Amino acid sequence: MDKIILDHVSYLYNAGTPFEKKALDDVSLSIAANRITGIIGHTGSGKSTMMMLLNGLSTPTSGEVLLDGYDINATFKAVFPEWIKRPEYANMRKSTAKKAIKAEIINRKKTLCFRVGLVMQYPEYQLFEETVYKDIAFGPKNMGLSEEEIKERVHEAIRFSGLDESILQKSPFDLSGGQKRRVAIAGVIAMRPEVLVLDEPAAGLDPRGREQIFQEVRRYQQATGSTVIMVSHSMEDMAEYCQVMIVLSHSRVVAQGSCKDVFSNVSMLEGTGLDIPQITQLTHLLKERGLNIPEDIYTVDRAVELLKDIYQTQKGTT
């Protein structure tokens, strides 16, 4: 099942001015539901632009962004002939139906950011409330939920973050960098988005902080079965935590598929200006030097497993 489809999407900055710049060039891709998808690309490859298109903060210059098959930027004109046939509108008077359809389009646009939760780069900069509780509650409050519901969501979100509940009464400005980041992500998780999009969620954190962030995301994904999209330039992290990968380079998609598929073509990845995981580089080198080892290795676990097999067969062959 595809949750999100980008259909021939292009995006131009400063269109029509001398500063015009193509950020996305005829990009078509699909993002599977209930999976963690990693979008990898170097700075300026268009990945951050793409994230803003997913929750409607920006609109593509051309092409469509479909969420559950619905073009999130659809105009009244485009949907009217289709929707008027639906049972809920078919029985209305035409003028009433028109009004209702217009209202639904507006409502969909408004609620889009709650369905597609976006965590921007360095999200700790968005914290502003006196307490962590209030800050996490900001999103749910904007959704118009009841106090009761908000409370439940805040507590749920803080559990996903792995932080102690006592932190809820502290000021977000008193926390450490990694804690702030986890609180900021909890603030988006509390809206229970069907799609959680994270831009470079672990940037600048140390290994422990990085792991805690990825675990928060993974816990949320597993508990809710939502779709997660992570954007990063670290192939090492993405290989570790994602099930599906999309590689962007110079505003275009150059590879998509399972991690195995993507890493089986190392020579292609070398041209994208990305850091190839050390372990992949190592196994590549071993193969070059005559060791019979597959090329699509991207985690230490798999490398250990394969090398163990090779070692044992070598030991066994007498």
Interface positions, 235-254, toward another protein (CB under 8 A)? 236
Shortest Cβ distance from residue 248 to another protein (Å)?
13
Contact 236, 275 (CB under 8 A): yes
Residue 198: exposed, middle, or buried by beta-carbon count in 10 A (0-12, 13-18, 19+)?
A: buried
Q: What are phi and psi of 98, to 5 degrees?
A: -55, -50
Residue 187: exposed, middle, or buried by beta-carbon count in 10 A (0-12, 13-18, 19+)?
A: buried
Q: Around Cβ 8, how many Cβ atoms within 10 Å? A: 12
Contact 94, 81 (CB under 8 A): no
Confirm or reject binding of residue 306 to another protein (CB under 8 A): no
Pairing of the two strands 2-13 and 62-67: antiparallel
Confirm or reject binding of residue 267 to another protein (CB under 8 A): no
Confirm or reject binding of residue 314 to another protein (CB under 8 A): yes
Residue of 86, 102, 128, 162 interacting with another protein (CB under 8 A): 128
Place of tokens 């015009």: 20
Confirm or reject binding of residue 167 to another protein (CB under 8 A): no
Interface positions, 203-222, toward another protein (CB under 8 A)? 203-209
In the bound state with another protein, the residue whose beta carbon lies nearer, of 69 and 316, is 316
Shortest Cβ distance from residue 95 to another protein (Å)?
25
Residue 85: exposed, middle, or buried by beta-carbon count in 10 A (0-12, 13-18, 19+)?
A: exposed
Q: Which stretch binds another protein (CB under 8 A): 62-70, 81-89, 111-119, 160-168?
A: 111-119
Contact footprint for another protein (CB under 8 A):
13-14, 19, 42-44, 52, 55, 57, 113-114, 117-120, 123, 125-128, 138-139, 142-143, 173, 176-178, 187-188, 191, 203-209, 233-234, 236, 273-275, 277-279, 281-282, 285-286, 289-291, 300, 303-304, 307-308, 310-311, 314-318
